[in-house]
Each structure stands twice: as structure tokens, then as C-alpha cells.
Amino acid sequence: MSWNRIIMLAVGLTVLSSAFAQNKAPEMMPYTTVDHPEFVSVSQAFFLSDTDIVVGVASRSVAKAYPGADLAQHGAVQDQMPDGPIAITW
């Protein structure tokens, strides 16, 4: 291998590693767990649309819905159901 090819290879690797460093994903903010969330009735949930994703949990006669957008922002919700504590993660 000639010196010209070695130098071009070294320059190419330097440029390539620099390009990868510039395309680094932005740092995510740390998640903050929601403990003991407050709920509203379905008729008061005007902030949700028909196309929003929710995670539903039901136990005995209690049903709860956790909006996907809130779970994506916070990462986890710790709540209480009739059978005991639960954790919802996204």
C-alpha cells in the first residue's frame, strides 16, 4: 500500500468520525416519575382526542387511562389499584 493511500485513508477516517460526532442525537432530559396521579372523568378529559394513545388498566371495578404523551414525557407512573401498587412505563 502506498503512502498516498494510507494518508487518504487516515484523512477519510478523520472526516468520517467528525461527521458522526456532529450528527450526535441531542441529550434527552431525565425522566421524572409521576407518583399518585390525579384523574378526571371521561367527560372532563377534553385535552384528549380520539386519536390519542392511552394505556388502560382495569382491576375489579376501577378503570384508569394513562395518556401516552404523558408517559413519553415522564417515562413512568406509580399509582395504586384495588389489588395494590402498580407502575406504568412507556
Encode pLDDT of 22-46 as tens digits.
556 666 667 788 998 999 988 999 9
Nearest residue to 79 via CA among 52, 65, 49: 65
Grid coordinates belonging to 31: 425522566
**pLDDT confidence of 15, banded at 50, 70, 90?**
very low
Sheet holding 34-35, edge to edge: 34-35, 76-81, 84-89
Asked whether the predicted pLDDT for residue 55 surpasses 70, the reply is: yes
12 phi, psi to nearest 5 deg: -60, -40
Asked whether the predicted pLDDT for residue 16 surpasses 50, the reply is: no
Asked whether the predicted pLDDT for residue 73 surpasses 70, the reply is: yes
Grid coordinates belonging to 75: 417515562
Averaged pLDDT for residues 37-65: 92
Q: What is the pTM of this model?
A: 0.64
DSSP assignment of 21-87 equals HHTPPPPPPPP--EES-----GGG-TT--TT--EEEEEETTEEEEEEHHHHHHHSEEEEEETTEEEE
Give domain limits for the chain.
Answer: 28-89
